[in-house]
A and B are shown apart, each in its own frame.
Chain A
Amino acid sequence: MKKNFLRLVCSMFLIGILCTHLNAFWVLNDPECPFSMARTSFVICYSITESTSQLLQSASEAFLFMNEVEIAEHSGLNIGAALQRIDLAAARVEQALKIFYEIIAISSDASYNLGRIGKLRTFNYEHYARENHLNLEAMSQVGEYLNKGDVLGFYRYHADNLEVLLNILSQIRKDLLAGRLSEKKVLWSLLQQYNTIMTVGNYASLVFYQI
């Protein structure tokens, strides 16, 4: 009796976790979790959500750093506060990247659902982007991988983007530690890189949810 009850609780808990992550959709999530093995699908989809969560929190910190830079106009730059924001943002991106390396390693050994790949190949990316007033350039970057059914390639591309972001954050951190603000070009590239990663990842999610 006790054993049955324990099993019931365990399965309810697992279903709960699974449902909890079905709603995740900001960056790169495929609601079908389309790997051939159920367990692999679960792990990968869960990890993508975890990585996205880290990225979103990092962006939130980075915006507060940009805010510190912006208000420096009125009161001068508070290096300590700026450094704290950058440290948190960098730590989150490092975590997001680490999780994504794991995703790539796991999905390299797993096969993607062929029906799903077929749908990715036949999807009209440009038409969808035009119809929904999306940025055609960002969608073409997504289409470059997904149009060939190369989901793993797209994961690698996302990891590369995270690495670029981490490098920018590290550069800014290094300059702050030296008591100065990075040059404008570097600071601007921070906002642009967050935008690129988020937009491209989000467009991939839109495609995954559409097919």
Chain B
Amino acid sequence: MEKRMFKLTLFSAIIAVSIVYLHGFWAARDPYDPFARKNNSEIGSLITDSAVELLQSASEAFQFMNEIEVVEPNGLISGAALHQVDLAIAKVEDALKIFNEVIAFGSQVGSDEGRIGKLKAFNYERYTRENGLSQETMSLVAAYLGKGNVLGFYQCHTGNLKKLLHILNMIKKDLSDGKLSENKVLGSLLQQYNSTMMFGNYASLVFYRL
């Protein structure tokens, strides 16, 4: 009786874990975790943590954009703007730190050859066309995943996060000096969030499709 109860509990736990894992999927997440050894769920969990930080950072950054949408040129910038940028920076720093761990982890464990084979054989162009997606963004993703280079893709994602951090730090520095960054810098903030998230999201689309 006890044994059956244990089996039932274990079975329920496994089902619960698999359902729960279906949710983490906004950016760069492969639901099957294409690494060779048993650290898969740990890597998947780290990617989810990083995506959480990025989404929270984006939320703060968009509040900041709203703050300056109505600001007076060369006028008073509210303390809220600096606070929002500070929070956005802290979140991107966390996302980056976590992703560096993912890369270190992934480098050690190697890849699942079956999964890599699927990534190589996937028709990125057709999938993009059929789903009305951006060919330009998907071609950036395919440049890595089409070669089965998951780690290279992760490294590119961290490169995107670093760019984002750089832009946020420039804005923070200007705000600390009591001025608003030039329009080109501010515009690049929106663009970098969009491109970072779309790059990750398109990869997720592929991973979930395989």
Contact = CB atoms under 8 A, between A and B. Distances in A.
B170 to A, nearest CB: 17
Interface stretch (A1-9, A32-40, A49-57, A149-157): A49-57
Interface residues of B, number: 45
Interface string B168-202: 00000000000010010011001100110110010
Nearest to A196: B134
Given A22-B73, A63-B56, A184-B208, A70 B198 contact: no
Contacts of B195: 135
Interface string B91-126: 000000000000000000000000000000000000
A191 B201 contact: yes
Contacts of A176: none
A60 B63 contact: yes
A67 B56 contact: yes
Contact of B24 (A63, A70, A188, A195): A70
A69 interface: yes
B193 to A, nearest CB: 9
Given A69-B23, A191-B201, A202 B56 contact: no
A50 to B, nearest CB: 9
Interface stretch (A13-21, A103-111, A119-127): A13-21
A56 B70 contact: no
B44 to A, nearest CB: 8
A182 to B, nearest CB: 12
Interface in B32-88: 45, 48, 51-52, 55-56, 58-60, 62-63, 65-66, 68-73, 75
A1 to B, nearest CB: 29
Interface size class of A (residues with CB under 8 A): 35 or more
Contacts of B52: 67, 70-71
Nearest to A132: B184
A59 B23 CA distance: 20
Contact of A134 (B20, B66, B191): B191
A73 interface: yes
Contacts of B180: 23
A66 B55 contact: yes
B127 interface: no
Contact of B66 (A53, A135, A198): A53
B23 A56 contact: no
Nearest to A57: B66
Interface of B: 20-21, 23-26, 45, 48, 51-52, 55-56, 58-60, 62-63, 65-66, 68-73, 75, 133-137, 180, 183, 186-187, 190-191, 194-195, 197-198, 201, 204-205, 208
Given A64-B59, A70-B25, 11 more contacts: A23-B69, A23-B73, A57-B63, A63-B62, A72-B20, A73-B45, A74-B48, A138-B134, A181-B23, A192-B133, A202-B187
8 contacts: A26-B65, A49-B69, A63-B59, A64-B59, A76-B20, A134-B191, A191-B26, A205-B187
